[in-house]
Amino acid sequence: MGGYFLGEEAPLKFPKQPTSIAEQVEKLQKRGMEISDKALAEHYLTHISYYRMTAYWLPFEVDHKTHQIKPGTTFEKVLNLYIFDRELRLLLMDAIERIEISVRTKWMNVLVEAHGPHAHLNPDLFRTKRNREGGIVWSHENAVSSLEKENARSREIFIRHLRRKYEENLPPLWATCELMTFGEFSKWFANTASSATRNQVARFYGLDETILVSFLHHLAVVRNLCAHHGRLWNREFTFTWKLPKKSPVELVSNLHHNESRRLCNSLAMLGFLMNQISPHTDWKSRVLSLIEKHEIDPSHMGFPNDYETYPLWNKPKIEG
Say how many C-beta atoms besides its own lie within 10 A of residue 272's C-beta: 22
pLDDT in 10s for each residue of the chain, 320 residues: 456 556 667 677 767 778 899 999 999 999 999 999 999 999 999 999 999 999 999 989 998 888 999 999 999 999 999 999 999 999 999 999 999 999 999 999 999 999 999 999 999 999 999 999 889 999 999 999 999 888 877 777 666 656 666 556 788 899 899 889 999 999 999 999 999 999 999 999 999 999 999 999 999 999 999 999 999 999 999 988 999 999 999 999 999 988 889 999 999 999 999 999 998 889 999 999 999 999 999 999 999 988 888 888 884 544 44
Structure confidence at residue 268 (pLDDT): 95
pLDDT of residue 166: 55
If phi over 0 gives left and psi between -120 and 50 gives alpha, with beta otherwise, what is residue 184? alpha
Tell me how far apart the alpha carbons of residues 300 and 263 are, in angstroms, rounded to a whole number. 9
pLDDT at 46: 97
Residue 297: predicted pLDDT: 93
Q: What DSSP line would sit under 145-184, residue for residue? A: HHHHHHHHH---HHHHHHHHH--SSS--HHHHGGG--HHH
Question: With 0-12 CB in 10 A as exposed, 13-18 as middle and 19+ as buried, what is 98?
Answer: middle
C-alpha dist (Å) from residue 119 to 157, 164, 173, 174, 312: 23, 20, 7, 10, 37
Element (H, E) at 229: none
The alpha carbon torsion through 9, 18, 225, 264 (nearest 10 deg) reads: -90
